[in-house]
Every structure is written in structure tokens, then in C-alpha cells.
Chain A
Amino acid sequence: MKKIEAVIKPFKLEDVKDALAEAGITGMTVTEVKGYGRQQGHSELYRGAEYVVDFLPKVKIEVVVSENDTDMVVEKITEAARTGKIGDGKIFVSNIDKTIRIRTGEEDEEAL
């Protein structure tokens, strides 16, 4: 099993969700996050003083998939989240040791 974490532009959430649903992914966890990469922040103005907003609002999607689906899911997310402009985000893939469905106690692949 692999965990795929994608940090994306917030307005792309809908597109990514639809793409994942099409790919047969049945669940995901979404968090509002802030951060920056190469895009850095931008400056805003308040009462005559400029200030830099370092951390830009992003959305983080987490899905856990079986090993075989990993590349396909990553590709779907990449396609759906890309605008081609700076700040599109990043995808991280990591190993997952165990998954348990709380209601039934099912484990691993069955619990996905």
C-alpha cells in the first residue's frame, strides 16, 4: 500500500476529486493547509503598509491506494491539478504498513 499526498491549488480540488472518483478511488482526506515552494509568497497592503504573505493557502489531499494503482492515481492527480503556472503544488508518495477499517476490523487491501 502507498499513501499519496498531493498539495494543490485550492480551486483545483473539485477537478482532482472528480479525476480520482473516475479512477475508482472511493475515499480521500482533505486538509486546508498553508505553505510555499518556489512560488514564494506575495505582498499585500493594509492601511498604507505593505506586508508579505509568506504562506499561501493550499489544499492537501491524502489517499491510500494499493501498490498497483499508485502510478495511475499519481498521473490522474497531476493531470487534474496542473495549470502550468507556478505554485501548482507537489505530490509525495510514501509506504503504508497497515490499514484498518474501524467499523468492521477489515485490514489492509480489504480496508481500502
Chain B
Amino acid sequence: MNAGDLSYILDTFFLLFAMTLIIFMVPGFAMLEAGIVRTKNVSAVLTVNTMIYAVASMAFLLIGYQLAFGTWENDSVSKWAAFLFQMAFVGKTVNIMSGGVSERTRIIPLMIFTVLMAAVIYPLVVNWTWGANMLEGTLLDISSMHDLAGSTVIHSTGAWALLAAIMIIGPRKGRYVGDQIRVIPASNIPLVTLGAMVLWIGWFGFNGGSVGSISSKESADAVALTIMNTNTAGLAGAIVAAVIVYIQYKKFDITMILNGALGGLVAITAGADLFDIYTPILIGLIGGALVVFAVPLFDRFRLDDPVGALSVHLVNGIWGTIAVGIFAEDVSFAAQVKGVVVVGVFAFVVSYIAIYAIDKIVRFRASDDEQMEGMDVSECGVESYPEFKRAF
């Protein structure tokens, strides 16, 4: 066996390992959402999460991958591993959107949008940034934006779609009454914590795998540094969120601390490979702080987001991408901003049109009665906790 074969095998194995870690984010999202919604909506949320993985991955296999990269061929790793690694990301983009419209959204229209997102919207964004680059040479060419694992390409894209969805679908019934903001507390904090922690672990594959190769000493170092920096930003995000909520409210709100960690992780996703080991602390600190301030802010705008996905993925997707332009040498600040803007405008406008159109054909929003009874009964017929008292 020659050295070329060995690096092919190693890198293939590396991508398959990273892909497996990323797929752990499926149960991560699922458990986080299952814990944060009321018990009457848990089955529906889990059904959505399962179907998103299945439908989005299938749409990407049949259409999206070709659209994004223009070819299946690959010389440096097994082409099947290259596909699987890219496929692992797709569901995340839709997951970000689905979590934020939990407890009031019907499954069928969501699935129609999932197909559009995984077959067209997300693959186009990938095409312009990591893929075949059909915009090359045009005014909108954003391929010089440095976005290692998708602060913009994945996190912002999904969250722009979520913003469009929240605007069209509206808040959960009873969330905003008159000028009052009614709190709907999480039903299961252990599940929220488990989900967030599993997401955190998945992030090591998300960012580490995006380095793409581990078969030389240099690339092995790059992978290890990327994972280390990823983790550091998560740590900083958790710490700063804890400190801020304690200063503000004299209480430690675990859901905010976890959101802070995830905010730091999203922020570092754009450039974890480029920084020294201390810069991620600053990026994570700012990321976690942004989450704590953004959550109540979105509430003030009457944008009902049960899981805080706008604060975590949109705000920090933007911050993380711009941070690369600020802290990394050889990265143009202007190119980062241009990438954020182009992807943002495209993802938001196209998602808005798509969701609006689907909504005209198949209503997205569950009726007040359906919401009152819970999505489990109206959408699934399977209640998650049939023998417990129902939340009133």
C-alpha cells in the first residue's frame, strides 16, 4: 500500500467519523426541543425531528448534492464518504428552523418546506460558498468568504428561514396576551440539558470534520486545533451567560446557560481553524452575551421562538462570520460582510416566499383548538406521556 492509498483511507475514515458525530446532533436537537416544549407537544416535535432527518437527507441525495457540488467525483477520499459528510449537515439547517416554530406548526407543510430547503435553497447557498460556485466572476461572488463549517452557510441560513416562518406562522396561542408576555416554561430540563450537551459533542465533528483531511501532520494539527477552539468558545459562552443572568436576575437559568454555550459554538464555527487558542474565548464570550440579550429582545418584537434559535443561530451566525474578518489575518472583512448579506437576503426572501406559498395551499399554523389540545393529539395521535397529568 502506498502513501497515497493510506491518506485516502485515513481521510475517508476521518470523514465517516466526523459524519457520525454530526448525526448525533439529530438526537441533540430532538431532546433539546422535547424538553423545552410542553408535554402535550413532545411527540409532534420528535416526529418532526425524525422526518426532517429522513426527508432532508433523501432530498439532498437525490437532488441537492449534485446542485451544490456539480459532481460526485472525488480523488482524495471515497466519494461516498464525501457525500455522507455533506449530507450530515443538511438536516441541521432545517432543524434550526423547525425548533423555533414548535408547538403550533403542522407537520405536512413543514415537510414540504424541508424538501425545498434540502433540495434547492441550502444547496444553492453551498454552491456559492463551498461548492461549484455558479456565481463566479459575478457581482455576487461570495466564495472568498471564510466560513469553515457554516456559521453563515448553515446556521444563519436555517435561522433566516426561521425568521420568515415565525413572521408568517405567528406566536403560540396564549404567548402574547394584550401587551403581556406570558411565559411558557420548559417541561423537562434534564432533556434540554442532554440535548444541548449532545449538540456540543456533535460540534466536534461539525467543525473538526470541516477541515476535511487528517492524513498529514499539518492537517492533524489543524483538526485538533479546530476542535479545541470550538470547545473553548462553548466554554466561554456558558460562563458568560451564567455570569450575566446571575448579575441581572440573581438566578442561574440553565436554559440560558446552555443557549449561551450553543451561541459560542455557533460563533466559532466560521473560523475555528484560523485562530490562536485565546481568540475563541473572546468570540465565545461575545457570542454567549449576545444570546442573553437577544432572547428577551426577540420577545419584545413578538417573535415567539421557544428554543431561542434566532438568538443562538441567527445572531451568532452573523457575529461568528464577521468575527473571522475582525480577528483572522488574511481574511477580508468586506468579504465576510458581503457573504453574510448575500446569503441573508437570499435565504430570507426565498424562504419567505416559499413558506408563504405553501401556507396558502396547506396551512402551516395549527388552529387554536388544536394547539390547546396539543399537537400530539391532532398531528400524531401518539401522546408522549399519556399517563401523566396534562399541563393546563
Residues of A within 8 A of B (CB): 44-51
How far is it, in angstroms, between the C-alpha of A49 and the C-alpha of B304 when the chains are bound? Answer: 13
Q: Which positions 192-251 of chain B face chain A at CB distance < 8 Å?
A: 245, 248-249, 251
Q: Which positions 303-323 of chain B face chain A at CB distance < 8 Å?
A: 308
Asked whether B296 lies within 8 Å of A49 as measured between CB atoms, the reply is yes
How far is it, in angstroms, between the C-alpha of A48 and the C-alpha of B259 when the chains are bound? Answer: 12
Q: What number of A-B contacts does a CB cutoff of 8 Å give?
A: 33
Chain A residues whose C-beta falls within 8 Å of the C-beta of B1 in the assembled complex: none
Chain A residues whose C-beta falls within 8 Å of the C-beta of B248 in the assembled complex: 48
**Which of A45, A47, A50 has the largest number of chain B CB atoms within 10 A?**
A47
The stretch of B10-18, B90-98, B180-188 in contact with A is B180-188
How far is it, in angstroms, between the C-alpha of A49 and the C-alpha of B245 when the chains are bound? Answer: 11
CB proximity of A14 to chain B, nearest CB, Å: 23
Chain B residues whose C-beta falls within 8 Å of the C-beta of A44 in the assembled complex: 185
**Which residue of the partner chain, among B182, B185, B256, contacts A48 with CB atoms under 8 Å?**
B256
Chain B residues whose C-beta falls within 8 Å of the C-beta of A49 in the assembled complex: 181, 183, 296, 299
How far is it, in angstroms, between the C-alpha of A44 and the C-alpha of B255 when the chains are bound? Answer: 14
Asked whether A46 lies within 8 Å of B185 as measured between CB atoms, the reply is yes
Asked whether A47 lies within 8 Å of B181 as measured between CB atoms, the reply is no
CB proximity of A51 to chain B, nearest CB, Å: 4
Chain A residues whose C-beta falls within 8 Å of the C-beta of B245 in the assembled complex: 48
Asked whether B295 lies within 8 Å of A45 as measured between CB atoms, the reply is no
Does B73 make an interface contact (CB < 8 A)? no
Nearest chain B residue, comparing its CB with the CB of A51: B183
Asked whether B308 lies within 8 Å of A47 as measured between CB atoms, the reply is yes
CB proximity of A28 to chain B, nearest CB, Å: 21
Chain B residues whose C-beta falls within 8 Å of the C-beta of A50 in the assembled complex: 183
**Which of A45, A48, A49 has the largest number of chain B CB atoms within 10 A?**
A48
Residues of B within 8 A of A (CB): 181-183, 185-186, 245, 248-249, 251, 253, 255-256, 292, 295-296, 299, 308
Sample of 21 A–B contacts (CB below 8 Å): A44-B185, A45-B251, A46-B185, A46-B253, A46-B255, A47-B253, A47-B255, A47-B296, A47-B308, A48-B245, A48-B249, A48-B253, A48-B256, A48-B292, A48-B295, A48-B296, A48-B299, A49-B299, A50-B183, A51-B182, A51-B183
**Which of A46, A50, A51 has the largest number of chain B CB atoms within 10 A?**
A46
Please judge, given known A-B contacts A45-B249, A45-B253, A46-B255, whether A51 and B185 are in contact too, CB under 8 Å. Answer: yes
How far is it, in angstroms, between the C-alpha of A47 and the C-alpha of B294 when the chains are bound? Answer: 11
How far is it, in angstroms, between the C-alpha of A28 and the C-alpha of B254 when the chains are bound? Answer: 39
Chain A residues whose C-beta falls within 8 Å of the C-beta of B249 in the assembled complex: 45, 48
CB proximity of A38 to chain B, nearest CB, Å: 23
Chain A residues whose C-beta falls within 8 Å of the C-beta of B295 in the assembled complex: 47-48
CB proximity of B267 to chain A, nearest CB, Å: 19
Chain A residues whose C-beta falls within 8 Å of the C-beta of B183 in the assembled complex: 46-47, 49-51
How far is it, in angstroms, between the C-alpha of A44 and the C-alpha of B292 when the chains are bound? Answer: 17
Nearest chain A residue, comparing its CB with the CB of B297: A48
CB proximity of B389 to chain A, nearest CB, Å: 9
CB proximity of A47 to chain B, nearest CB, Å: 5
Chain A residues whose C-beta falls within 8 Å of the C-beta of B299 in the assembled complex: 48-49
Nearest chain B residue, comparing its CB with the CB of A44: B185
How far is it, in angstroms, between the C-alpha of A42 and the C-alpha of B53 when the chains are bound? Answer: 41
CB proximity of B291 to chain A, nearest CB, Å: 10
How far is it, in angstroms, between the C-alpha of A48 and the C-alpha of B249 when the chains are bound? Answer: 8
How far is it, in angstroms, between the C-alpha of A109 and the C-alpha of B256 when the chains are bound? Answer: 57
CB proximity of B220 to chain A, nearest CB, Å: 41
How far is it, in angstroms, between the C-alpha of A49 and the C-alpha of B256 when the chains are bound? Answer: 11
Nearest chain A residue, comparing its CB with the CB of B294: A48
CB proximity of A35 to chain B, nearest CB, Å: 13
Chain A residues whose C-beta falls within 8 Å of the C-beta of B185 in the assembled complex: 44, 46, 51
CB proximity of B7 to chain A, nearest CB, Å: 47
Chain B residues whose C-beta falls within 8 Å of the C-beta of A46 in the assembled complex: 183, 185-186, 253, 255
Nearest chain A residue, comparing its CB with the CB of B306: A47
How far is it, in angstroms, between the C-alpha of A49 and the C-alpha of B253 when the chains are bound? Answer: 11
Chain A residues whose C-beta falls within 8 Å of the C-beta of B186 in the assembled complex: 46
Chain B residues whose C-beta falls within 8 Å of the C-beta of A47 in the assembled complex: 183, 253, 255-256, 295-296, 308
Chain B residues whose C-beta falls within 8 Å of the C-beta of A45 in the assembled complex: 249, 251, 253
Q: A46-B186, A47-B296 are in contact. List 13 more A-B contacts (CB 8 A).
A: A45-B249, A45-B253, A46-B183, A47-B256, A47-B295, A47-B308, A48-B256, A48-B296, A48-B299, A49-B183, A50-B183, A51-B183, A51-B185
